[in-house]
Amino acid sequence: MAEAKLQIQMLHDRVLVRISPEDGERRSSGGIVIPATAQVAKRLAWGDVLGVGGHVRTVKVGDRVLFNPEDQLEVEVQAQTYIVMRERDIHAVATEETEHGTGLYL
């Protein structure tokens, strides 16, 4: 039997995010490899928005968002792990251009 594709519709103010793969191992400015399991301090993570609910106002599918992964709920769909969170738990949205001229450029 062939696998059916699931279509997931997020409800209310919920956002479905996939953690970016580059948030694993890091390198210090001196070239030292820091494993993903190293606990230095609480660290925010970047992720890609895959779905949004009907009451989400500032985030859209395809945006790159900054959030705290420790405070969120994980869900596994077809062997992939995703994060489900409320829109208010997102700290920042990365965009190509800034309209207001404030903030950081990554």
pLDDT tens track for 13-71: 899 988 876 555 566 667 777 666 655 567 788 899 988 999 989 899 989 999 988 87
Q: How many CA atoms lie within 13 A of 103 on its CB side?
A: 13
What was the pLDDT predicted at 74? Answer: 84
Cα separation values, 31 from 45, 97, 104, Å: 21, 30, 24
Where is 16: in which H helix or E strand?
Answer: strand 14-19
Tell me the whole-structure pTM to 2 decimals: 0.67
Q: Please tell me whether residue 18 adopts helix, strand or coil conformation.
A: strand
**Per-residue pLDDT tens digits for 83-103:** 899 999 999 998 766 566 666
Q: Report whether 18 contacts 79 (CB < 8 A).
A: no
Q: Which domains does the chain have, with CATH numbers?
A: 14-21+40-94 (2.30.33.40)
Residue 90: per-residue pLDDT: 92
